[in-house]
Amino acid sequence: MCLANSQLKSAVRAPPTWRKPVGDGAKRTRGLGATRARYRRPVASLRMAKKSVLTPQSEDFPQWYQDVMAKAELAENGPARGTMVIRPYGWALWEGMQAEVDRRIKDAGAQNAYFPLFIPESYLHKEAEHVEGFSPELAVVTHGGGKKLDEPLVVRPTSETVINAYFSKWLQSYRDLPLLINQWANVVRWELRPRLFLRTTEFLWQEGHTCHASEDDARDYALRILHDVYENFMVEVIGVPVVTGLKTANERFAGADQTWTCEAMMGDGKALQMGTSHLLGQNFAKVFDTQFLTETGEREYAWQTSWGVSTRMVGGLIMTHGDDAGLRVPPKLAPIQVVVLVVRDEDGAGDAAAALAKQLKAGGIRTELDNRDAPFGRRAVEWELKGVPVRLEIGPRDLAEGTATMVRRDKGEKESTPLDGLPTRIPQLLDEIQKALHQQAQQRQEDRTVDAATVDEAIDGARTGFARIKWDNGGELEKRLNQESVSVRCLRRQDGSVPLATDEPDLVAVVARAY
RNA sequence: CGGGGAGUGGCGCAGUGGUAGCGCACCUGCUUUGGGGGCAGGCGGUCGGGGGUUCAAAUCCCCCCUCCCCGACCA
């Protein structure tokens, strides 16, 4: 955010509960695991065991995640608690996600627009459940231009309120419907326990907001976004299998009638909510007077939806595909799909590598040439950490054979491949890797999902993954699970389709521990 | 806010009264750069802040600030 007036002094206050000093209970963690980064790496094919760069996942998954953040140069903490600096490689991942999601949003008919970061505090208070849900995590600006403001400004935690204020002006007739708007923006929620990408005080997302003529239209659209935009993107582009379903009342977005979700299983078996789509009903329309004239000339409140995915998906990607050697980025998303690595620039290896890289680029492959003057091993490890799907290593020995050593990141397999076959081989290989990563994640999710007959079984299943258990709408199940830090991720029908209400008969609850 | 822990070079750490050190990283040079190669040399620190005790404080005492982990909240 850019302040035009450098003199501007603004104070951001959190609500009273959060303002109190935390005392001396909290201390900073130093580092991203360098002390732990001294493990033997089990690579049998290597002559000598090298120290591992990362804490093994099995040793300490959160620490592994932290290590990856630092070593793959993805992001680090900002100077203010809960803020995040996204480094170029991390940004490239997000940028790729944005592009693919944006295209799908536009295919679904929505247009991009932009609404303000600052929202009059009174707006938030108009919708009772909404304000109740968000007030604990609001950042509020009380001063600007050196003066106390007449009315405090809330830094948007989400934009239903401001957007509705304008929808109510723009929407006049049923002919204006559906009104389909999306914005890419940052939002702020005062988080108590931030984690890079997964839960930061400021994060980036897209938020879609729509108006429809009927509840059915709105519901259909919310579900279309859930499946055609979110689920499709997650499965097809980032290879993350998701479980779609309906949120319980307890887990529902504050102010919505219904919330649907895409839940993914991370490498440690925990669930991560990757995206949500809400049916808002007429809740916001009523308080912001978002009305239209029907064909018969009657005034009616608009039926609305909202939906979003955030930078959290970057964290989800990492924890879904990452392994002990670092990231594994699915080729369709990978900022760099192939790196051509000059092993030693002798006997023309450097020129051959440059020529190959050029050729691959011309063929539409996102290719990087690495001819840096640094030890080969260091460079190889760096690309491995960053999860580049394919490495092509060319040194004098390869060149003498007219081959390159082709290494696929997902399986770590090396193969000597004729140089002239690469332009046709690489696209096939990228495709194989894309499928393999998705397949592996899918397999893990299936292997670690159990059917539970009792609450205890469900809690047990949630220690290592997901559990499915019969949903008792209005019963004690959710409360008992919550007591064990297990949550209902979503509700599904027997056939796997998503329910429209939590009181449908014979629903199945998918439960897990969650991020 | 409840329960734990910690602030020393970019990062990770050692240093319990004598004026600050190690590893990694970084810079320079050399080297036969095939998985975080080797050798040599080098840059870099108001020891979180303030006050006190002492001939002398990173170290002991007091106050303050900040941060991390577990829990509650959450995209």
- The CATH number of the domain holding residue A479 is 3.30.110.30
What is the per-residue pLDDT for A237? 98
Name the closest nucleotide to A272, judged by C1' and CA.
B75
Q: Is A27 contained in some domain?
A: no
Do A130 and A168 reside in the same domain of the chain?
A: yes
Q: Are A318 and A90 in contact (CB under 8 A)?
A: no
Cβ of residue A393 near strand B, that is under 7 Å? Answer: yes
Give yes or no for residue A438 having a pLDDT over 90. yes
Give yes or no for residue A351 having a pLDDT over 90. yes
What is the per-residue pLDDT for A9? 30
Determine the structural domain holding residue A506 and report its residue range: 449-512
Do A468 and A501 reside in the same domain of the chain?
A: yes
Name the closest nucleotide to A311, judged by C1' and CA.
B75
Q: Is A326 contained in some domain?
A: no
A150 is written with which tokens?
Answer: 């007449």
**Which amino acid residue lies closest to nucleotide B75, measuring CA to C1'?**
A310
Lowest mean pLDDT among A13-17, A256-260, A484-488: A13-17
Name the closest nucleotide to A395, judged by C1' and CA.
B34
Residue at which a domain ends, from A294, A321, A348: A321
Q: Is A329 contained in some domain?
A: no
Banded model confidence at residue A308, pLDDT cuts 50, 70, 90: very high
Do A389 and A243 reside in the same domain of the chain?
A: no
Percentage above 90 pLDDT, chain A: 74
Do A164 and A305 reside in the same domain of the chain?
A: yes
Q: Kindly report whether the peptide bond that precedes residue A178 is cis, defined as omega within 30 degrees of 0.
A: yes
- DSSP label at residue A323: B
Do A316 and A420 reside in the same domain of the chain?
A: no
Q: Is A78 contained in some domain?
A: no
Q: Is A186 exposed, middle or buried (0-12, 13-18, 19+ CB in 10 A)?
A: middle
Q: How many residues does chain A have?
A: 515
Show contacts of A117-120: CB within 8 Å, 24+ apart: A117/A1, A117/A155, A117/A156, A117/A185, A117/A186, A118/A153, A118/A154, A118/A155, A118/A156, A119/A153, A119/A154, A119/A155, A119/A156, A119/A159, A119/A161, A119/A162, A120/A151, A120/A153, A120/A154
pLDDT digits (tens, 9 = 90+) for A376-413: 999 999 999 999 999 999 999 999 999 999 999 999 99
Do A95 and A57 reside in the same domain of the chain?
A: no
- CATH code for position A193: 3.30.930.10
Do A229 and A313 reside in the same domain of the chain?
A: yes
What is the per-residue pLDDT for A60? 81
**CB < 7 A to strand B: residues 150-209, chain A:** 189, 191-195, 198-201, 203, 205
Banded model confidence at residue A34, pLDDT cuts 50, 70, 90: very low
Span A41-47, average pLDDT? 29
Percentage above 70 pLDDT, chain A: 90
Q: Is A32 contained in some domain?
A: no
CA atom of A3 to C1′ atom of B69, Å: 35
CA atom of A344 to C1′ atom of B75, Å: 46
Do A170 and A257 reside in the same domain of the chain?
A: yes
pLDDT digits (tens, 9 = 90+) for A60-83: 888 888 889 888 999 888 877 788
Cβ of residue A29 near strand B, that is under 7 Å? Answer: yes
**Which amino acid residue lies closest to nucleotide B24, measuring CA to C1'?**
A34
- Torsion of Cα atoms, A271 then A272 then A274 then A278, to 10°: 80
- Whether the complex's predicted ipTM is more than 0.85 is answered with yes
**Which amino acid residue lies closest to nucleotide B35, measuring CA to C1'?**
A377
Question: Does residue A168 sit in helix, strand or coil?
Answer: helix
Amino acid at A499: P
Span A439-448, average pLDDT? 97
Cβ of residue A479 near strand B, that is under 7 Å? Answer: no
Q: How far apart are the first and last CA of chain A?
A: 28
Q: Is A9 contained in some domain?
A: no
pLDDT digits (tens, 9 = 90+) for A205-221: 999 999 999 999 999 99
Do A171 and A316 reside in the same domain of the chain?
A: yes
The structural domain count of chain A equals 4
